[in-house]
Amino acid sequence: MKSYAKKHYLLVLLAVITINFFLPRLMPGDPFLYLSVEEGEVAAAFSEEQIAQYKAYYGMDKPLYMQFYDYILKLLQGDLGYSIYYNTSVLEMILLRIPWTIFIVLCALFLSSFFGTLLGAISARLREKPADKFMYLFMVVFSEIPSFLLGIVFLFVLAAKLKWFPLSGGITIFAPHTSMLSYMGDLLHHAALPIITLTPAGLGNFYILARNSMLTVLSKDYINTAKAKGLKKWQILYKHALRNALPPIIARIFLSLGSLFGGAVLIENVFAYPGVGKLMREAVLKRDYVLIQGIFLTVAVTMLLMNWLADVIYKKLDPRVFR
């Protein structure tokens, strides 16, 4: 990779770390207030001295720039610190929760990108025909429905009313699983609703992108060349057209991870799914700076990694991009 690109990534990372540090501290309230308040009560149970002691313990009595300096120093050693509320290692907590989120996000991503691209390509081939027009209208409307709204509807209808899916959680607690298969089935059963809730928004996006991309490519001269060469229809469509239409779709797959993750935060809370999103909400409610920072950082770094991966793959797909 070119050195300027490396510099860009480094710069973005630095900005992320900085924002990540200051943003939670701009929120009203502080962690010790929540630490000292029992659920449902208002008055603080901790005395001033106790709180001051806590603050000193977590280094929060120091000036802000010193705290920032300490934070960076610890980060460099790979230490994300200890949660103030839960009193456990942030890294461990995140590692425990993140697979759940990754699972539903990836599933939704796969479903939306695969079917979106497929439908988009079909739509492009049937251009201006009723099927294309109908599909286009349907997708545009469908993808505009906010996912949390969809989630609530699913929850009421599919889970509460029809009882096809469990109401909440990631797995049936205390259920005896005799085989790996039944365990996996249970996992999927719980994940199904969050996944199908997350999918539509992306599906519409991928559909529109794939349709446009295919339409552009199908009007290019080289498609005409391929036709003139007497190649079979499927050869033209899959070998010549799709390969040219794919790069922007691949790029979008990686870039849509961000919005998909944002969606997951809401959905996890709707379905009480034990992912990072739910953890984040808990952390924010408790003003658990260390935990918030840890989650944000992990998410941001993941996004950056995905961006970088998109760059690399894009270059592999399109030989015209300068290597």
Partner 1 sequence: MKYPLLKVEKLSVCYKNTDALAVHNLSFALRERESVGLIGESGSGKSSLALTIMGLLRSSAEVHGSIRLKNVELTCLPEQELENYRWSKIALVFQNSLEVLNPVMTIGEQIAECIRRHLGLNNLQAKKKTTELLLMTGLDPLWAKAYPHQLSGGMRQKVLIAMALSCDPEVLLVDEPTMALDAANKDEIIKLLLSLQKEKGFSMLVISHEFPVISAMTSRLLVIYSGNVVEEGNTQEVINNPMHPYTRGLVYASPAVNPYRDMWGIPGEATMPSENQCSFLNRCSQRIDRCACELPVLQTVCEDRRVACTRGGIVTLLKGSSLCKCFHVRFREIMACSSCDIEVKAGEVTALIGESGSGKTTIAKILAGILHADRGEVFFQDRKVSGNSETSKRGGVQIVFQDALSATNEHFSIEEIVREPLDIIKWGTKNERLKIVKEALKNVQLPSDDLFLRRRAYTLSGGQRQRTAIARALVMTPKLLIADEISAMLDPSTAANLLRLLKGLQIAQGFTMLYITHDLALAQKISDKVYVMSKGKIIGHGPVRNVFRENRSICLG
Binding residues (CB under 8 A) for partner 1: these are 220-222, 224-232, 235, 239-240, 243-244, 317-320
Q: How far apart, in whole angstroms, are the C-alpha atoms of residue 125 and residue 5?
A: 38
- Shortest distance, position 177 Cβ to partner 1, whole Å: 47
Question: Considering beta carbons, is residue 241 or 267 the nearer one to partner 1?
Answer: 241
The answer for residues whose C-beta is within 8 angstroms of residue 159's C-beta and 6 or more apart is 165, 166, 167, 193
**Alpha-carbon distances of 288 from 78, 201, 282, 321, rounded to whole Å:** 19, 31, 8, 44
Question: Considering beta carbons, is residue 282 or 318 the nearer one to partner 1?
Answer: 318
Question: Considering beta carbons, is residue 6 or 227 the nearer one to partner 1?
Answer: 227
**Alpha-carbon distances of 313 from 117, 134, 213, 242, 248, rounded to whole Å:** 18, 33, 18, 16, 11
- Shortest distance, position 245 Cβ to partner 1, whole Å: 10
DSSP characters over 243-291: HHHHHHHHHHHHHHHHHHHHHHHHHHHHTT--SHHHHHHHHHHTT-HHH
The answer for residues whose C-beta is within 8 angstroms of residue 47's C-beta and 6 or more apart is none
Question: Considering beta carbons, is residue 142 or 314 the nearer one to partner 1?
Answer: 314
Which residue, among 300, 302, 305, 291, has the nearest Cα to 94 in the 3D structure?
Answer: 291
Instruction: Give φ, ψ of 89 to 5 degrees.
Output: -65, 130
82, β-bridge pairs: 89
- Shortest distance, position 210 Cβ to partner 1, whole Å: 16
- Shortest distance, position 234 Cβ to partner 1, whole Å: 12
- Shortest distance, position 125 Cβ to partner 1, whole Å: 12
- Shortest distance, position 220 Cβ to partner 1, whole Å: 5
Question: Considering beta carbons, is residue 155 or 310 the nearer one to partner 1?
Answer: 310
- Shortest distance, position 223 Cβ to partner 1, whole Å: 8
Residue with tokens 């149970």: 45
- Shortest distance, position 7 Cβ to partner 1, whole Å: 27
Question: Considering beta carbons, is residue 133 or 220 the nearer one to partner 1?
Answer: 220
Question: Considering beta carbons, is residue 174 or 234 the nearer one to partner 1?
Answer: 234
Token pair for residue 3? 């050195």
Alpha-helical segments (H) within the chain: 3-25, 31-36, 48-57, 64-76, 90-125, 130-143, 147-154, 180-218, 221-228, 233-234, 242-270, 276-285, 289-317
Q: How far apart, in whole angstroms, are the C-alpha atoms of residue 46 and residue 49?
A: 8
Question: Considering beta carbons, is residue 7 or 220 the nearer one to partner 1?
Answer: 220
